[in-house]
Chain A
Amino acid sequence: MADMASMLDVSVWRGAGEGRFVSYPVPRRENQTVLDVVTYVQRRLDATLAYRFSCRVGMCGSCAMTVNGVARWTCRTHVGRVAKDGRLRIAPLRNMPVIKDLSVDMAGFFAKAARAKGAFRPTADRAADFAVIAPDSPRRRRADTAIECIGCGVCYASCDVVTWNPDYLGPAALNRAWTLVNDERDGGNRERLAAVAGDAGCHACHSHQSCMERCPKHLNPTESIAGLKRATGLAALAGKL
């Protein structure tokens, strides 16, 4: 199992806004993930290392970090795929303030989901019967393709528009808004479309598609944002924005 003969050269960002990369030798093992490597450093080499994880199986979205320059979910990223030469450079996510080491403050990221009206607005109360929505209806399909977001922040950290316009809502929040725009049970679309329009919203997207390229769930937030551009355009023409 363990291949103790080879070691990984792992450099990890230590500090907050100001800090530096510190090198740690970590034994290379089979089927080792980047999260395993970070956990090894924290448990065996330096207990003061701060990082965040929870489920370890790609569901919770808490372990995203910048691995060799690319934002990734570390629990599902095998070392063999990203460290061909045995080197790993692990940094916190971009576009979010660093709290300490590999932990970033995601409050602003989640606040933008709220600003994009990312909360479901029901149109029926609990006494109402189930809403019947055909699984193959166009709106249901569009919601389906965007719904699996786990809120890991990889797209947000990979987006250059977020970097140069910190007010920009970002791919995750806009993708979430798009799923609700397509939710037939939701009654908040007028406000939602107004919230996602404009130069801090969907119209700021340059369609670089880094979000799509990097999304670990293989979602396409760029497509969702394009959908929002169409929806806001039609709403503006109809005077409903």
Chain B
Amino acid sequence: MSARAETLLWLAQRISAMVLAVVVAVHIGTIIYAVQGGLTAQEIIGRVQGNTGWLAFYGVFVAAVAIHGPIGLRTILREMTPVPARLIDVAAAAFAVLLAWTGWQAAYGLYGFGGA
């Protein structure tokens, strides 16, 4: 991979980390706030269902995870295993697609829960 591509990956990981710092804090803060009165599926669905704000929030969350995780995993595999670099790139890209697909599907599924 070219020096420019490697550097852009590094930048993408740093920027996604900054995004994650904020969204993870909001996510955990909401959990702590929401469980005060007990935790039920109904309450969660009541909060996120049909709420475009939460859909956008978790859309960004999933995007940041799908960018950040696979780049880090790629670096770890390259440093710690003898797996060929090309194969690691393909595996990391596939992992990114998997995270984005399943994550967005979950976020959209809750948004439209019950056919709303």
Interfacial chain B residues near A195, Cβ < 8 Å: 3
Assess the A194–B3 pair: CB atoms within 8 A.
Answer: yes
Interfacial chain B residues near A197, Cβ < 8 Å: 3-4, 6-7
From A164, A201, A229, A236, B4 is in contact (CB under 8 Å) with A236
Assess the A198–B3 pair: CB atoms within 8 A.
Answer: yes
User: When A164-B79, A165-B79 are in contact, do A198 and B11 touch as well, CB less than 8 Å?
Assistant: no
- Tell me the smallest distance from the CB of A40 to a CB of chain B, in Å: 42
User: How would residues 201 to 225 of chain A score, 1 for a CB under 8 Å from any chain B CB and 0 otherwise?
Assistant: 1011000000000000000000000
- Cα–Cα distance between A197 and B79 once the two chains are bound (Å): 16
Assess the B79–A198 pair: CB atoms within 8 A.
Answer: no
| 20 intermolecular pairs with C-beta atoms under 8 Å apart | A165-B79, A193-B3, A197-B7, A198-B1, A198-B6, A198-B7, A199-B6, A201-B3, A203-B6, A203-B10, A229-B10, A232-B7, A233-B10, A233-B14, A236-B7, A236-B11, A237-B8, A241-B3, A241-B4, A241-B7
- Cα–Cα distance between A197 and B4 once the two chains are bound (Å): 8
Question: Which A residues contact B (CB, under 8 angstroms)?
Answer: 164-165, 193-195, 197-199, 201, 203-204, 229, 232-233, 235-237, 239, 241
User: How would residues 1 to 37 of chain B score, 1 for a CB under 8 Å from any chain A CB and 0 otherwise?
Assistant: 1011011101100100000000000000000000000
Assess the A237–B6 pair: CB atoms within 8 A.
Answer: no
Interfacial chain B residues near A235, Cβ < 8 Å: 7
8 A-B pairs with least C-beta separation: A197-B3, A236-B7, A198-B6, A241-B4, A194-B3, A197-B7, A232-B7, A203-B10
- Cα–Cα distance between A164 and B81 once the two chains are bound (Å): 11
- Cα–Cα distance between A235 and B3 once the two chains are bound (Å): 11
User: When A194-B3, A198-B6, A203-B6 are in contact, do A237 and B78 touch as well, CB less than 8 Å?
Assistant: no
Interfacial chain B residues near A165, Cβ < 8 Å: 79
Assess the A199–B78 pair: CB atoms within 8 A.
Answer: yes
Assess the B7–A233 pair: CB atoms within 8 A.
Answer: yes
Assess the A237–B11 pair: CB atoms within 8 A.
Answer: yes
Instruction: Name the residue on A nearest B6 (C-beta).
Output: A198
Instruction: Name the residue on B nearest A204 (C-beta).
Output: B79
Interfacial chain A residues near B14, Cβ < 8 Å: 233
Interfacial chain B residues near A237, Cβ < 8 Å: 8, 11
- Cα–Cα distance between A95 and B78 once the two chains are bound (Å): 20
B:65-88 near A, CB below 8 Å? 75, 78-79
Instruction: Name the residue on A nearest B13 (C-beta).
Output: A203
Assess the A233–B11 pair: CB atoms within 8 A.
Answer: yes
Assess the B7–A203 pair: CB atoms within 8 A.
Answer: yes
Interfacial chain A residues near B75, Cβ < 8 Å: 199
Instruction: Name the residue on A nearest B10 (C-beta).
Output: A203
Instruction: Name the residue on B nearest A240 (C-beta).
Output: B4
Interfacial chain A residues near B10, Cβ < 8 Å: 203, 229, 233
A198-B7, A236-B3 known; 12 new pairs, CB 8 Å cut-off, are A193-B3, A194-B4, A199-B75, A199-B78, A203-B7, A203-B10, A229-B10, A232-B3, A233-B7, A233-B14, A236-B11, A237-B8
- Cα–Cα distance between A241 and B6 once the two chains are bound (Å): 10
